[in-house]
Structure 1
C-alpha cells in the first residue's frame, strides 16, 4: 500500500463498537471484495470492501473477518482468515500479510490461513445461534454484479438454515457515520492532496488545454503524494459540459472565456475527499460569471452554518432551497410568478439547482449514514450547491468537506483550498 500504516487502535475500537451492538450468542462475518476480471488475464485494480477495512485495516483480497464476542473460546472472539503467502506468491505478486503483520495492522491476535476456514467456521456455527450477514443497503446502491459477500450470504443461509440471520448494515451505518479522530486525520490528508492537485491545475490551465490534460495534472499530483488516485470518477467540465451533472468523458478543449467545473477528490488510505471548484479558462471571471459564482458561494456559506448537531436532513435541504430561490430571483433566473406557481414536489429553484446539497463522506465518497436521524458531532458532510444555466453556456458548483462540531460551525477540511473569486484569479495569474 502507498499509504502509511494506520494506528491499529482505530480498528480495535471499531470492532468493539460493532460487537457491543450484536445480539447475544451471535457471530458476524465480513468478506473482502473480489478482484474483478476485465478480459483475457486482465483485472481491475483491487478495491477492499470498506466494511472489512473499517473493522480490520486489512487491505488485501481473499480475506475474512469473524467476530464472535460470546464465543466459549476466548481466542475465537476475533479471527482473521488470510490467503497463505509463500515464496512463489512473493515473486509474482509481491508481499502479502503474514500472521505477524496482520496482528500489527489489525490488532486481531488469532489469524488462520484460509485453508482452515471450513473446519474452524463449522465449529463456530455449532456454538452460535445468530449469524450477521453483511449487505450493502446504502440509499444510492445499485449493485448488479454478485459480490463475494453476496455469494457467501447465499451459501450460509443454505448450509445453516436453522440459524437466525441478522443484518450488519444497520450497525455499520451508525458506526461509520461518526468519525474517529484518526479517521479525520486521514481524511485531512486526502483533502491536503486534493489541495495540491488543485493549486497545480490553477497554474496549468489556459485556453487551448484539453479537459483530459487537466485530469492528468491532478493524477500526477495525487500519485506523487501517496494516493492511489481519484476517490471517484473525476469531472472536468468546461463550458456547457458543466450542465451535465455526471459529465466524465473529459475530452473537450477548454476555450477562452469559458468556465471549467472541476469535481475531483483524492483518496488516501481508502478514505475519500470530494471537492468542486469552478475556474475561468482565461484566468479572469466575467462580471456575469462572478455574479453567479458569488451567489453559489453565499448559499454554500449559509448552508454550512446549518450543519450542527440535531439538524434534520429533510428540513436542512428545504432551508437551502429557500436560500437558492432568493439568489435565483436576484440573478433574474426566476421571477416571483415562478415561485408562486411552483410545484411543491419540484420547487422552482430545481430548474437551476437540481441535486442535493450534502452527503456523508468517509470510506466511501457517498458514505454510510442514517438520514432519518439527527446529525451529530463528527459526522462529515459535503456542502455543494450549484447553479446550472445551459442558455448562458456555463454551470457553477462549489463543494467542501466539513466536520460537524459539538459546538460552533463545522470544521472545513478544505479550508486551505482557494475558493473566493479573488483567490482563484490570483493563483491563476501568478
Structure 2
C-alpha cells in the first residue's frame, strides 16, 4: 500500500522536537510562528506543516470560483466560556483558519475579487497590539506583522469591520458570508447576530441597524458550501499533517491497550490516552472519547466513562487527537484481560472482515459514494452474521445491530459533513472514516454467546485513484496485534 512521504511540506515527526534556533520568549505574536516557535514552525510555514503559499492558493481557488463583482467575509470564532469568566481553550473557526491561518480571536477577513494578478484583495481585521491586555492574556500580532506574515493587503482594527462590511456590501453584487451558528436551531439566522457576535458593545444601535440593512439583501450568498468543496480534497501537506495526527492517536491506542486491565476505570483509560497524545504534541482531543467497557459499548455515543472495567470484558474505545489543526478519529475494540474469548474473537473477525473489504473499495476508480459504501457494509455484515448463527429478520441489522452510518469525511473538523453530499462519488484526496460496528443486545432472537457485545473498528482512509491509504495504520487492529499490544508483546511501554 502506498505511503506518505515528507517532500515539500517539512513536517516534523513530533511537535515536541527541539529546534536549532532559540525560541523568542515571550512571543511577540498571537500564535506560534517561526521566529518565536522554531521547534513547531519552519521558515516557509505559516502554521505547522502548512506553507504560507498554500493559504494563498486556497484563497485564490475560492475567489477564482466566484463570479466577478464578489466579496467574501468571514469572522473568527468567539471566545467560549465554561463558567463565568473562565474560558475554554480557544479554537479558531475552521473556515476562517483554512483561508487565513490566523489563530487569534476578535478577528475577521474580507476578500474582494479584483482584476489584478493576484485576483483578490485581502483585508484582515484583528485586535492589534495592546500592552494592557497583553499583560493578562499574552501577545497579539501587530498590524505590521499581519501585513508582512499573513500577506494581507490591509490590516485594520476589528472595530472597523462592521463599517467596512457595510460599505463593501453596497458596492458588490455578490456578497458571500455565513452567519455565526447558522446550523444551530437555537441561534437566529440573522445579520444582526453576526454583528453582536463580533463586537456587541463597539457600535451604536443606529450603526448596527444600518449594517443589518446592508446585509439583508437577496444577493447575499452562503459561503460554507464553497469552502467545503475546497476542503474536501486534501493537499499533500494536509495529508501529511493528518497522517501525523493519526500516528499520534494510533500510538496512544497501542500504549493504552497495554495500560488497560481489569479494575481500572474507564475515565483513567481516557485520561491515559489524552496524556499520551499531549506528550506527542497534540493541542487537544478532537472530541470527547468513548471508553465503553462491556455492555456500555451498546451505547453508541457513550461518553460518561465512569465505570470500572471487569475481567473478561471488551473495551470499545473511540478516540482521536487534534494535531496542528487537523482531527483524527479511530475506534478499536480490545479485551481487558489481554485475550479474546472464542465468541469475542468470532464477532470481532466478522466486523474486521467487512471493514477491510470496505476499505479496499475507497478508490476513485471504484466510483462509489458514501451511500453505496454503507449499503455494501450492510450486505457484508449480514453475510458474516449469518455465518455466526444469527437469523436476521427485516430491520434487525439496520435498526438494532448496526444503527449508525458507515462513514463521514474528516479533516479540520471531525465531521466535515455539514455541507457534503453522501451521494457524491469518492475522489482521490478525500479523507473519510470506515467504521462498521455490531452491537448485540441481550434479547432472545440473537445468539446468547454474543449478548452485550459491542464491537466497532474505525480507520481513517485517504481515498486514492486506485489504492486507498490507511492513515490510522499505527493503531493495532489484527487480532494478533491487538492481543500483543494488550499483553506487552509489541515492545511498547504503556507510557
Q: Output the TM-score relative to the length of structure 1.
A: 0.90
Instruction: Summarize the Cα distance change of 1:144–1:269 in structure 2 as closer, same or farther, 3 Å threshold.
Output: farther
Instruction: Note if 1:331 corresponds to 2:388.
Output: yes
Instruction: Note if 1:12 corresponds to 2:70.
Output: no
Instruction: Summarize the Cα distance change of 1:221–1:242 in structure 2 as closer, same or farther, 3 Å threshold.
Output: same
Instruction: Summarize the Cα distance change of 1:398–1:390 in structure 2 as closer, same or farther, 3 Å threshold.
Output: same
Cross-structure match for 2:320: 265
Q: CA deviation at 1:85?
A: 2.0
Q: CA deviation at 1:183?
A: 1.1
Instruction: Note if 1:355 corresponds to 2:399.
Output: no
Cross-structure match for 1:377: 428
CA contact (8 A) 1:11 1:107 kept: no
Gap regions ≥5 residues in structure 2? 1-30, 33-39, 42-46, 197-207, 443-450, 489-495
Q: CA deviation at 1:82?
A: 0.8
CA contact (8 A) 2:126 2:157 kept: yes
Secondary structure in structure 2 of the residue aligned to 1:232: coil
Cross-structure match for 2:104: 60
Q: CA deviation at 1:300?
A: 0.4
Q: CA deviation at 1:65?
A: 1.1
Question: 2 CA distance for matches of 1:228 and 1:147?
Answer: 31
Secondary structure in structure 1 of the residue aligned to 2:455: strand
CA contact (8 A) 1:69 1:78 kept: no
Which of 297, 300, 308 is 1:245 aligned to?
A: 300
- Superposition pairs of residues 23-422 of structure 1, within 5 angstroms: 23-70=67-114, 77-103=121-147, 106-134=150-178, 142-145=184-187, 151-152=193-194, 156-161=211-216, 164-309=219-364, 310-335=367-392, 338=393, 342=394, 346=395, 348-368=397-417, 369-391=420-442, 392-408=451-467, 410-422=468-480
Instruction: Summarize the Cα distance change of 1:101–1:275 in structure 2 as closer, same or farther, 3 Å threshold.
Output: farther
CA contact (8 A) 1:33 1:147 kept: no
Question: 2 CA distance for matches of 1:274 and 1:367?
Answer: 12
CA contact (8 A) 1:70 1:77 kept: yes
Question: 2 CA distance for matches of 1:111 and 1:398?
Answer: 47
RMSD: 2.6
Q: CA deviation at 1:196?
A: 2.4
Spell out, residue by residue over 1:356-408, the C-alpha distance to the aligned partner (whole angstroms, 9 max, x if none).
11110001111143323211110100000011113222200000001111122
Question: 1 CA distance for matches of 2:452 and 2:154?
Answer: 60
Instruction: Summarize the Cα distance change of 1:271–1:296 in structure 2 as closer, same or farther, 3 Å threshold.
Output: same
Instruction: Note if 1:21 corresponds to 2:65.
Output: yes
CA contact (8 A) 1:31 1:149 kept: no
Could you say which structure has the higher helix fraction? 1
Secondary structure in structure 2 of the residue aligned to 1:213: helix
CA contact (8 A) 1:274 1:400 kept: yes
Secondary structure in structure 1 of the residue aligned to 2:360: helix
Secondary structure in structure 2 of the residue aligned to 1:390: coil
Secondary structure in structure 1 of the residue aligned to 2:304: coil
Secondary structure in structure 2 of the residue aligned to 1:216: helix
CA contact (8 A) 2:287 2:319 kept: yes
Gap regions ≥5 residues in structure 1? none
Question: 1 CA distance for matches of 2:415 and 2:380?
Answer: 24
Secondary structure in structure 2 of the residue aligned to 1:61: coil
Q: Name the stretch that deviates more: 35-44 or 209-218.
A: 35-44
Secondary structure in structure 1 of the residue aligned to 2:57: helix
Q: Name the stretch that deviates more: 63-72 or 230-239.
A: 63-72
Q: Output the TM-score relative to the length of structure 2.
A: 0.79
Question: 1 CA distance for matches of 2:180 and 2:480?
Answer: 43
Question: 2 CA distance for matches of 1:199 and 1:287?
Answer: 22
Question: 2 CA distance for matches of 1:317 and 1:24?
Answer: 40
Spell out, residue by residue over 1:17-61, the C-alpha distance to the aligned partner (whole angstroms, 9 max, x if none).
111111220101001111123332122222211110111111111
Instruction: Summarize the Cα distance change of 1:261–1:186 in structure 2 as closer, same or farther, 3 Å threshold.
Output: same
Question: 1 CA distance for matches of 2:278 and 2:371?
Answer: 38
Secondary structure in structure 2 of the residue aligned to 1:132: strand
Instruction: Summarize the Cα distance change of 1:246–1:160 in structure 2 as closer, same or farther, 3 Å threshold.
Output: closer
Q: CA deviation at 1:88?
A: 1.7
